[in-house]
Structure formats: structure tokens, C-alpha cells
Amino acid sequence: ILNVEQSPQSLHVQEGDSTNFTCSFPSSNFYALHWYRWETAKSPEALFVMTLNGDEKKKGRISATLNTKEGYSYLYIKGSQPEDSATYLCALILTGGGNKLTFGTGTQLKVEL
Amino acid sequence: KAGVTQTPRYLIKTRGQQVTLSCSPISGHRSVSWYQQTPGQGLQFLFEYFSETQRNKGNFPGRFSGRQFSNSRSEMNVSTLELGDSALYLCASSPGQPYNEQFFGPGTRLTVL
């Protein structure tokens, strides 16, 4: 069984705070790591696809890093806003796994005014 | 560019019945994956179709099946429904490579009574 773990499970922050989450995964047979944001009543939205060790990606106030050797990725949100409230999911693709995403259980972020 | 569409959006069935769900991917995308989301299990991979062929399969019983048509539209069928099949079923479309973003549809909410 492939375990993709995310921590923390949930997080409450104040508007303007910066925050980060962790995604841990087995490092063997790694191919790609996807990050998604899933807002209530909407579809999961792709944030990043990361494939190379040391990858850093950024989209606005959100950025992510990847360490494939030790099997983890961090997602950072700078200056959190209420509209950032969502569940953040990471998902692993293994070599030879086609497009099969194995999801973590997610980090639920609530940004309060 | 039109997004991923799924029909129907909501469905209520009784135990023992069968159901067919439909997914229309983004134009030009050849890969369609299906996922089941339940509160206890999170997002679980069902199967992936690429160019009308099943490329990957998750750990679900044979009651769950799918197919893909030449226009890349995909259907998922669940026979002999059980109460535990109540879930949100999401499909995701992509051009087909693991490093491509996957775009999710709005989902079909299935309730089995």
C-alpha cells in the first residue's frame, strides 16, 4: 500500500499569516508530485506538477518545493487571505503508473479575518 | 476552452441497481481518470483510460467498470450497487503524460438507498 501523508490535518490561521504544509511520500519509483486546491462545492484545481528533485514552483502567493531523495514536498502560502481557505491535496505518480494519482488525505486550511 | 463536464450531477439509486456515469474531457485530451471520494477514504483511484484503452486500474471490485469512446468521452458503470458505493465520483482529463496537469470535473454525487 502506497502511503502519501499530509500534515497537519487542519490549520486555522489569521488573515496575513504565512503558513506551510507538508506532503511525505515513499521516495522509490517517484515520477511526479501534484498539488491541488479543493474549495468546497468546487472541483479540485491543479496548483503545481513537480518532477525534479529540488524543484521550486510559484504561483502568486503560493509556492512549493520538492525533495525526492528524502520524500517530501512543502507548500507555502504567503500572506494568507480568506479566499485561500480550502483543502490542499498532494498526489503522487509513480514510474510506470500512467496517470494514476495516489492522494494524501489533505490539509484543511481556514483563514480567518 | 470548455472544461470537464460530468453527467448527471446527482443520482439516487437503490441497492442492487446499476448506474452509468459520463465524463466529457477537455477537447484534445486523451486521458480520462476516475476517482471515488468518500469521507472515510478520501480520493481513491478507480481507473484510467487513454486512447480507448484501460491503462491503469485501482483496487476496486469488478462491479466497477468503464470505457472510453473514440471522442475520448468516458463512461463508468457500477453494477449491483451497495450502500457503500455512495460517494462523489470525479473524473479528470489530461493530455496523457504524468507530468501534465489533470483537470477535474464537478463530479457526480451518487446516493445508494
Q: What's the pLDDT tens digit per position in A64-92?
A: 999 999 999 999 999 999 999 999 999 99
Query: Using an 8 Å Cβ cutoff, are B36 and B46 in contact?
Result: yes
Helix (H, G, I), strand (E, B) or coil at A20: strand
Judge: B104–A45 Cβ closer than 8 Å, yes or no: yes
CA-to-CA distance for B107 and B89, rounded, in angstroms?
A: 5
Residue type, B34: W
Q: Closest Cα to residue A38, out of B3, B67, B104, B94? A: B104
Ramachandran assignment for A70, one of left (phi > 0), alpha (psi -120 to 50 degrees), beta (any other) = alpha
Min Cα distance A33 → chain B (Å) is: 8
C-alpha cell at A28: 522509490
Spatial contact of A54 and A67, defined as CB atoms under 8 Å apart:
yes
What is the mean pLDDT for each group of 10 consecutive residues in chain B (113 residues)?
91 98 96 93 93 94 97 97 97 92 96 97
What long-range pairs does A62-67 form, CB within 8 A, spacing at least 24? A64/A35, A66/A33
B18 shares contact with chain A (CB less than 8 Å): no
The one-character DSSP state at B98 is: T
Report strand pairing: A107-112 vs A10-14.
Answer: parallel
Identity of the amino acid at B86: S
- B 32-71 near A (Cβ less than 8 A): 33, 35, 42-45, 48, 50, 55-56, 58
Taking only the tens place, the pLDDT of each residue in A5-55 is 999 999 999 999 999 999 999 988 999 999 999 999 999 999 999 999 999
Q: Which helix (H) or strand (E) holds A12?
A: strand A10-14
DSSP B1-57: ----EEE-SEEEE-TT--EEEEEEPPTT--EEEEEEEETTTEEEEEEEEETTEEEEE
A47 lies within 8 A of chain B by CB: no
Q: At A82, is the secondary structure helix, strand, or coil?
A: helix
Report yes or no: B85 at the A interface, CB cutoff 8 Å. Answer: no
The C-alpha atoms of residue A54 and residue B85 are separated, in whole angstroms, by 40
Instruction: Give pLDDT, residue B93.
Output: 97
